[in-house]
Structure 1
């Protein structure tokens, strides 16, 4: 079975990611229902070199699955809420996923494959220039 790919656009940056369907099938199924997705990506406050999409009390309907507090750059997480609000975490460098309540763990649902070399630059723009538009959609099959 071929991996499902996502097209992710952040400001002027384009990324291709693979869904982590083998390790997080319920999370990926929930994410598919949210697509196409668009919002704002802002600098994280407590998680180091990472940006996030705050989603309030959005009900994802999935518990912990393939969860981590230490995502590598380009390993996208969704926090399904309980201690803090629902959010998507988009690490671009060294990251320890946290909130004002302390360390969190989010479900690793996708990994950037193409465009990884631009993550640091994207992060610097978010840090110094502010919120950027983000869109996530399924990649069209070729």
Structure 2
């Protein structure tokens, strides 16, 4: 099992790569580590934060995809009818964009620090974009 350390705003999390369920997505994400960006609050999906990736082509198709990630699930939308993005659910999420419901590949699950998910989400909602870093644990 491969673990990923996530630093988002003032919070630290640890997550496991879902290699058996999303092997291609996990391999692609690992090749991008360390990954640094900004996380912002979602507009359409409910209680989640996202990292917009624009027209970045990750070369991925659907695997282990869902429209309803659970709190602590991290999904990647590989692009198509909306822009490429990574989404972190901290509460109830129905993954969508302005064009309607989407599905993303569930490839990471937060295993440590889950008690801080809501605080991160609310901080992002009320205080704006937060720095986020993903790296091997």
Please give the residue correspondences for 1:60-139 in structure 2 after superposition, counting only pairs within 5 Å. 60-139=58-137
Structure 2 unpaired stretches of 5+: none
Structure 2: distance between partners of 1:4 and 1:33: 13
User: Deviation digits for residues 50-77 of structure 1, max 9, x if unmatched?
Assistant: 0000001111111000000000011000
How many residue pairs get matched?
137
Structure 1 unmatched runs, 5+ = none
Aligned partner of 2:7 in structure 1 is 9
CA distance in 1, matches of 2:96, 2:136: 28
Using the TM superposition, give the Cα deviation of residue 109 of structure 1 relative to its aligned residue in structure 2, in angstroms.
0.5
* Runs of 4 or more consecutive aligned structure 1 residues displaced over 3 Å after TM superposition: none
Q: How far apart are residue 44 of structure 1 and its match?
A: 0.3
C-alpha separation in 1, matches of 2:133 and 2:57: 19
| Aligned Cα root-mean-square deviation (Å) | 0.5
Q: Show the counterpart of 1:43.
A: 41
* TM-score normalised per structure 1: 0.95
How far is 1:48 from its partner? 0.2
SS at match of 1:73: coil
Secondary structure of the residue that 1:35 maps to in structure 2? coil
